[in-house]
Amino acid sequence: MIAASRYGNHIGGNSLRLIACAVGTAMIIASILEPVSVSAALKKSTPPSTPGNFHVTGVTDSSVSFAWTASKAGTNPSFNYVIVNATSGFAFSLGKGTTGVTDTFVLGGNTYSFYIYAIDSNGNKSANSPTVTVSLPAPPPPGPPAAPELSLVSVTPTTITVAWPQSGDDAYNLFLDGVPATEQELEFDSYTEWTVINLTPGTTHSITVEAINASGVSPMSNPVTATTSTTTDTTPPTAPTGLNGWSDGGGEAIISFNPSTDNVTPQSQIEYRFYVNGSLEAYASVIGQTSDVFVFPNGSGDPQQIYVVAVDQAGNVSQPSNVLTVDF
């Protein structure tokens, strides 16, 4: 009995060890497998929900405004919204806290379709919202330009210079005392700064400007009224001499001449005006420059005749230079 009991106890002890061993092994296997199942769960993370009630809240001829109900975060709390213009293919991203936006990358008179979705920072994307389609009204036709805002730049005994801000591609007409000024009365200092020339010292004049574009003519600008200064200097500069030049083959002539002198105005401040076929070349006037001056033809046909006069700061005009004949 005692032997049998010992034997039995021995056998039972081994069985218990085997059972314990089996249980321990199972626990080890479970502990190894558990991280794998957690990792798999992370890979199957839930995306944010689809933004709700995506709809248009406003339309102009150059914009569309939208609103929607916020998405709920999935496994990853960090997500953005993406609005897609399905018509143009353009898409833009908006932050999580946004529930409305205005798109200005649209053109009036066109129809566009849009949808929205949410996507988290791991790339998990919600379903797309239903598509909304919107037609933008055509933009109104452009109206005529606004009246230029005219200002006085300078006055001399024989000139008045005015200027105004540039507006688009407008062209301009200048009026001297209510009458359109001719090229003989104007120099173009820049596109929007013009000088009225050949005025009499001590006389008062009113200048206005109108703008022109494809849609029409502007109202007349504010008038600028100025009185030319008086002067005791009535002696004109000497006439330029040695006028020579040639055509460069590009529809213009390059000319040079000897400088004039004046009893008051230094040579560096003497102005030179150029005449082509008897008409002032309004874009070619220079101050102090006597070489490599570009002048342009006046009308069609060759040859054309060019001469230059000198003008001092008192407005006195010299006799003309020699005449240069050029085939443009």
Listed residues 69, 100, 135: the one ending a domain: 135
More confident residue, 121 or 198: 121
- Judged by phi (left if over 0) then psi (alpha if -120 to 50, else beta), residue 248 lies in alpha
Range of the structural domain that residue 62 is part of: 52-135
Please, which pLDDT band fits residue 282 given cuts at 50, 70 and 90? confident
Each residue of 65-113: pLDDT tens digit? 999 999 999 999 999 999 999 999 999 999 999 999 999 999 999 999 9
Residues 263 and 321 in one domain: yes
CA distance 205 to 160: 9
Q: Specify the pLDDT at position 14.
A: 42
- Is residue 22 assigned to a domain? no
Q: For residues 251 and 321, state if they share a domain.
A: yes
Residue 1: inside a domain: no
Confidence at residue 119, expressed as pLDDT on a 0 to 100 scale: 97
Question: Model's pTM, two decimal places?
Answer: 0.56
Q: Which two tokens stand for residue 317?
A: 């005009």
- Give the model's pLDDT for residue 44: 72
pLDDT tens sequence across 223-281:
999 999 999 999 999 999 999 999 988 889 999 999 999 999 999 999 999 999 999 98
- Same domain for 56 and 130, yes or no, is yes
Distance (Å, rounded) from C-alpha 93 to C-alpha 117? 10
pLDDT band at residue 214, thresholds of 50, 70 and 90? confident
Identify the domain boundary among 198, 227, 256: 227
CATH number (domain holding residue 191): 2.60.40.10
Q: What 8-state DSSP symbol labels residue 263? A: S
Q: Are 230 and 201 spatial neighbours (Cβ–Cβ below 8 Å)?
A: yes
Query: Is beta strand 171-176 parallel, antiparallel or unpaired with respect to 160-163?
Result: unpaired
- The full 3-state SS of 189-251, as one line of letters, equals EECCEEEECCCCCCCEEEEEEEEEECCEECCCCCCEEEECCCCCCCCCCCCCEEEEEEECCCC
pLDDT of amino acid 43: 57
CA–CA distance, 122 with 104 (Å, rounded to integer): 29
Q: Are residues 250 and 223 in the same domain?
A: no
Does the pLDDT of residue 15 top 50, yes or no? no
Residue 10 resides in a domain? no
Q: Is residue 39 part of a domain?
A: no
Res. 34: pLDDT tops 80: no
- Compute the average pLDDT of residues 169-178: 93
Same-domain pairing of 211 and 250 = no
The answer to which of 23-32, 52-61, 268-277 has the lowest mean pLDDT is 23-32
Contact between 135 and 142 under an 8 Å Cβ cutoff? The reply is no
Predicted local distance difference test score (pLDDT) of residue 188? 84
Task: Give the CB-side neighbour count of residue 116, counting CA atoms within 13 A.
Answer: 29
Same domain, 316 and 267: yes
| DSSP type of residue 98 | -
Tell me, what's the pLDDT at 13? 44
Contact (Cβ atoms closer than 8 angstroms) between residue 35 and residue 24: no
Amino acid 153: pLDDT: 96
Is position 293 within any domain?
yes
Q: Does 12 reside within a domain?
A: no
17 part of a folded domain: no
Do 109 and 160 share a structural domain? no
Q: Quick one: 156 and 207 in the same domain? A: yes
Same domain assignment for residues 173 and 220: yes
Confidence label for 8 from pLDDT (cuts 50, 70 and 90): very low
Token pair for residue 47? 């995306």
Domain boundary among 135, 162, 182: 135
Residue 283 has a pLDDT of 78
26: in domain: no
pLDDT band at 25 (very low <50, low <70, confident <90, very high): very low
User: Is residue 319 domain-shared with residue 258, that is, in the same domain?
Assistant: yes
Which amino acid is it at 29? Answer: I
The token pair at 111 is 């129809």
Total tally of structural domains belonging to the chain: 3
